[in-house]
Structure 1
Amino acid sequence: MTTPASVASDLVSLPDVTAQDEVVEICRDLLRIDSVNRGSGDGNERAIAEYVAAKLAEVGLETTLLESEPGRASVIARVEGADPSRAPLLIHGHLDVVPADPADWRVHPFAGEILDDCLWGRGAVDMKDMDAMTLAVIRDLVRSGRRPPRDLVLAFVADEEAGGVLGARWLVDNHPHLFADCTEAISEVGGFSYTISDNLRLYPIETAQKGIAWMKLTVAGRAGHGSMINDDNAVTALCEAIVRLGRHRFPIVLTPTVRMFLDSVGDALGIDVHAEDLETTIAKLGPIARMIGATIRNTVNPTQLDAGEKVNVIPGEATAYVDGRFLPGQEEEFLRQIDELIGPAVRRDWVVYDQALETGFDGPLVDAMASALRAEDPAARAIPYMLSGGTDAKSFSRLGIRCFGFSPLLLPAGLDFAGMFHGVDERVPVESLRFGVRVLDRFLAAS
């Protein structure tokens, strides 16, 4: 579906607002739209995609709404820049969120409530905050008649929380022409502040991310009565393999991105970073320690178990699901160790398998990010880092696009930002959204 661009006559009736004025309301609207993705095809982004398309069409942008399956909708739009000879910049964000149980939250996760100067809701940081900031900045850009230095391609996509098979990956496989001329991209989980002191805040920009290896492990055994001795019990064999995986610690491997990050942090904190005691150093990083600690080695975590239907029946098969992540350059070694740990009796099948990424912390785009941050926060110092998870950058990078995580937020020093992702009581400070809008506006003007 394509919405028409011929709505210029309506623009005069739009209120005279700025991106800072409307970013909170847009984010609030997005949080109130249930776009939960439970995986295995169980999701529906149609309603939120239509909201995004309407917001862009309201200021005269033509949008294309595409569905990979009924309800699994993504929205693409293009903003014309001043120099058509330059390659466009891709700004992409996902519209789906992971489930949330209202019983666990202080406020309802889909109420979009403002409490304690924060906007609460599932997706507040992952990643409806960046979706809202992008919408607010682009709407303000078009309303004011300003043209970015180059074309901007906007992609608001489905299914990121289940690996992007019905979202970014589907778009890249089936509609690559929409992004074919893009050379660089920005998206989630980067550009957030980490306070060292009143005079120094580090802003990690994502230049790398671990590969994804979600796997299903299956063991076949001999079914039988629960009262009898069974030396071929599938549950026992599977549990033994799961324990080996869950207790294993992969060796430390420092990629160029992680080494640069640790050197930058060590310099900022005035401490020596020693390879033989990295975990002690990382433990001093407070709220982001868990995220960074997972980037110095491959990881694997058992997450689901399934076997049997009755307590007195030994099942003939047992299955488990495992979340594996591997560092750039470590894929082959990671798979070798996984197979060694689970043993020959366990069958391994991929649920989601995707590449690791790493790019350099250099070039005009990185300079524009750093400059935009410093202009709004004189204490800002941009540094590179590796994301322990994965994003839709994995799919878009297949087109040769250089991808960065840059969703700028100035955060309170004590906020457990890493814990917000997929966590209970997810929230984003209202002033952080406004800060992000100002930074993004500066960045786009210089990129």
Structure 2
Amino acid sequence: MSDPGNRTDTNPTVALDEVVDLVSSLIRFDTSNTGELETTVGEKECAEWVASKLEEVGYETEYVESGAPGRGNVFAWLRGASNSTRGALLVHGHLDVVPAEPADWSVHPFSGAVEDGYVWGRGAVDMKDMVGMALALARQFKSNGTVPPRDILFAFLADEEAGGKYGSHWLVDNRPDLFEGVTEAVGEVGGFSLTVARPDGTEKRLYMVETAEKSLAWMRLTAKARAGHGSFLHDDNAVTYLAEAVAKLGNHTFPLVLTESVSQFLRAVSEESGLDFDPTSPDIDGTLLKLGSIARIVGATLRDTANPTMLSAGYKANVIPQTATAVIDCRVLPGRQAAFEKEVDELIGPNVEREWITKLEPYETTFDGDLVDAMNEAVLAHDPNGRTVPYMLSGGTDAKAFARIGIRCFGFAPLKLPPELDFAALFHGIDERVPVESLEFGTQVLEHFLLHS
């Protein structure tokens, strides 16, 4: 902690009183990211509002557009103890969300409705909950004159939902000066609780800290052959070649590979639950189902995946096209890229070509050090029945960009969740929502963490 001349005391009611309203207000900005520049909206307006809330309490902010008009990012520094020898901590969150169809929802996805103990709307868990908590605490610290143990850089970013080309990756490539002095970072997706039943009938909450994530790699497959009349015999058909390749790839099960993050997670769950998560067991996937909805995320970190998501071919019913294409969403484990590509090539065969549309590297760090200790201390201070454990995210985050400039990254957006809530289904899902009590818990844990990190 800091010396007596530095203030680390804070009035926690400030952030608690406004975090729900801040999250609700953030959701009301439609920041839908379609992946196309001309149809992605709302980031600039939302970023400017965030900047105004920070400036309102005395921050000097920097607004940066990342590679295209309207792709707004906001940065604000909170200076820490003058005697600190540690690098700065980056607290980051993205302002964009995936699109939502209002007709599918119980409430309007951009209403920010606060009903039945939840804040509802697109982005409630991905990730305007964390943005709201960070903003509430940034405002509280500045209002109270709080001096944390180290410098903190609050960053509110664009374009994460489309891979960060017009967000974190552009910033790292073009404005690395913005992150000068930063050595560690926290953002999504981690810190949320998983309740497991223990052999003695009690329950334990495991707070899953993200220490690793698979690559984000989108691949285009292209088959080319002779065009012709649909009524002729035709044994050189691009659609057939592509369809066969897509079916083989989509039905393929890649080999089980156990990374250190996943190994540690499974050991921790075994210790608490008494279940045997033996990775060599032929029923490992079935055993994972006992974890509930989180099994979808954990199961996807046991092996590489390649899921077909888009198909395109032809322009008329009676014309055999010359070209057929498909897009495959590939998520590859750390250290597996070369083996993965070799396996893919064997599956798709010689008549189909592949190319990477987007290729962002996997990331993994160890579950140790002062920052991890501070996370554990913060969780236990507010939930004595908790335990922090590492895990791997099956998707990707802005951590991929920050890791490129040597920043050690973790996913830590703490939420104490009701055991019955299907949290995994809320990411990009219909009726996305976050419990009010979880937001308030997370704000307190995050405050404790930032003041002891």
Alignment TM class, shorter chain as reference? over 0.9
1:99 equivalenced with 2:99 (yes/no): yes
- Tell me which of 209, 213, 220 is aligned to 1:205: 209
Moved more, 55-64 or 225-234: 225-234
> Does 2:388 align with 1:382?
yes
| C-alpha separation in 2, matches of 1:343 and 1:76 | 48
Between 1:273-282 and 1:400-409, the stretch displaced more is: 273-282
1:103 maps to amino acid = A
1:81 has 2:93 as partner: no
- Tell me, in whole angstroms, the C-alpha distance in 2 between the residues paired with 1:411 and 1:22: 20
Amino acid at match of 1:285: L
Q: Residues 180 and 399 of structure 1 are in contact (CA less than 8 Å); yes or no, is this contact kept in structure 2? A: no
Residue 36 of structure 2 is matched in structure 1 by 40
1:190-269 aligned at under 5 Å gives the runs 190-197=190-197, 199-269=203-273
Report Cα offsets for 1:348-380 as digits up to 9, x if no partner.
121210111111100010010011011111111
Q: How many pairs were matched up?
A: 433
Letter in 1 for 2:388: A
- What does 1:3-402 correspond to in 2, within 5 Å? 18-41=14-37, 42-44=39-41, 45-67=43-65, 68-83=67-82, 85-197=85-197, 199-277=203-281, 278-402=284-408
Q: Whole-Å Cα distance in 2 between the matches of residues 260 and 61 of structure 1?
A: 40
Deviations 1:282-320 (A, max 9, x none): 111101000000000011100011111222222211111
Query: Per-residue deviation at 1:424?
Result: 1.0
Runs of 5+ in structure 2 lacking a partner?
1-11
Contact 2:196 2:291 in 1 (8 A): no
Could you give the per-residue CA deviations for residues 190-218 of structure 1, whole angstroms, max 9, x where no partner exists? 01011125552100100000011111111
Q: Per the alignment, in what secondary structure is the counterpart of residue 192 of structure 2?
A: coil
Q: Deviations over 1:140-179 (max 9, x none)?
A: 1111111111110111111111110110000000010111
Q: For the aligned residues, what is the CA RMSD?
A: 1.4
Q: Is the 8 A contact 2:277 2:288 kept in 1?
A: no
User: 2: distance between equivalents of 1:339 and 1:50?
Assistant: 47
Alignment partner of 2:413: what SS?
A: coil
Task: Confirm or deny: 8 A CA contact 1:168 1:396 kept in the other structure.
Answer: yes
**Using the alignment, how far apart are the partners of 1:313 and 1:392 within structure 2?**
44
Work out the CA distance in 2 between the residues paired with 1:275 and 1:164: 34
TM-superposed deviation, 1:17: 6.0
1:397, distance to aligned residue in structure 2 (A): 0.4
Alpha carbons 1:46, 1:72 under 8 Å: kept = yes
One-letter identity of the residue aligned with 2:168: A
Within 2, Cα distance between the matches of 1:30 and 1:273?
A: 40
Q: Higher mean Cα deviation, 152-161 or 267-276?
A: 267-276
My pick for the range that moved more, 106-115 or 245-254, is: 106-115
Partners of 1:185 and 1:394 in 2: how far apart? Answer: 11
Match of 1:404 in 2: 410
Secondary structure of 1:434's counterpart equals: helix
TM-score by length of 2: 0.93
Give the percent of matched residue pairs that are identical in Structure 1 and Structure 2. 56
1-structure distance, mates of 2:74, 2:237: 49
For residue 11 of structure 1, what is the aligned residue in structure 2? none
